[in-house]
Amino acid sequence: MTATPTHPADPVPDPIDPIDPAPRVALDAQAAQPVILQRLTLADPFRWLARGVQDVRAAPGISVFYGVCFCCMALVLGWVFRTRPEYTMSLASGCLLVGPFLAMGLYDTSRRREAGLRPELSESLTCWDRHMGSMGMLVLVLVVLELLWGRASLVVFAVFFNTGMPSTTGVLQAVFNPQNWSFVAVYTVVGGVFAALVFSTSVVSIPMILDRDTDALTAGITSMRVVLENTLVMLLWGALITAIVTLSLWFWGVGLLLAGPVLGFASWHAYRASVTPPQLPPAAA
């Protein structure tokens, strides 16, 4: 009787991204590739928005879920403005911090559509768990910026309203009162500086971490490089985001049901247009 040869058990494969079937060594090779930026034109932001609308139509269920999340954020922001207006800028900066991470699920949806896969809400909700280390470091940086922004906002209020924090009506009167132009100017400059820092750090860093599994430092520096090398385009993109969000905040933020998902999807396409996609090694291609 011939003995049947035994074979060692097959090794358990390393967990990999379901979108990219390459082994872990290929993923590491992608992350190690030099980041090559692409030149942008002033027409590109409008193309990103158009592609964002296409993604909304292709994944309406996922879009509605995230749109409701953005709308809830707007409702909370409105409640704080009515009750504690001095914390409005702090919460607004918090929304700028939470928004990109919430939009990470939208980035994953657009990424799956590019790969020819069916988008799934469950996958979009857990896409960040494979990038905890890098995301944690980026969260830390953005949290520090958010805390500094909030503190600076309170200092501005304290300097110009030394008799006490104003009510919501007082804030509105201060903004539209020509005698308080110095307060409006300082408040705008302080908010603009921190908004620019947050925007520059996160405009392509979060989708880049999702796509390449790179470290937070590389992603943040790449994001700033994109802004510096395409300043006019990124200024236009930031202005479009600000205008769309501001208009959406009317009527209790209901407009964010659509604007939130569109901007989230469009941000993924902004990353795709700004950073050259990594190339697979020949053995993994």
Q: What are the beta bridge partners of residue 275? A: 37
pLDDT over 50 at 6, yes or no: no
At 254 the pLDDT is: 85
| Residue whose pair of structure tokens reads 């939130």 in the numeric block | 260
Average pLDDT, the chain: 78
Using one digit for the tens of pLDDT, what is the confidence trace for 107-153? 999 999 998 888 888 888 888 777 677 777 777 787 787 778 777 87
SS3 275: strand
Q: For residue 121, which amino acid is it?
A: L
Average pLDDT value for residue range 16-39: 57
Using one digit for the tens of pLDDT, what is the confidence trace for 170-197? 566 666 667 777 877 888 888 888 888 8
Average pLDDT value for residue range 73-97: 66
Return the percentage of the chain with pLDDT > 90, whole number: 31
Using one digit for the tens of pLDDT, what is the confidence trace for 230-257? 999 999 999 999 899 888 877 777 888 9
Using one digit for the tens of pLDDT, what is the confidence trace for 186-230? 888 888 888 888 889 989 998 998 888 888 889 999 999 999 999
Q: Could you give the CA distance from residue 278 to residue 153 in angstroms, rounded to a whole number?
A: 41
Q: What are the beta bridge partners of residue 37? A: 275
Question: Between residues 176 and 18, which one has the greater pLDDT?
Answer: 176
What number of other Cβ atoms are within 10 A of residue 263's Cβ?
A: 23
CB-based contact 76:91 (threshold 8 Å): yes
At 39, is the pLDDT very low, low, confident or very high (cuts 50, 70, 90)? very high
At 230 the pLDDT is: 96
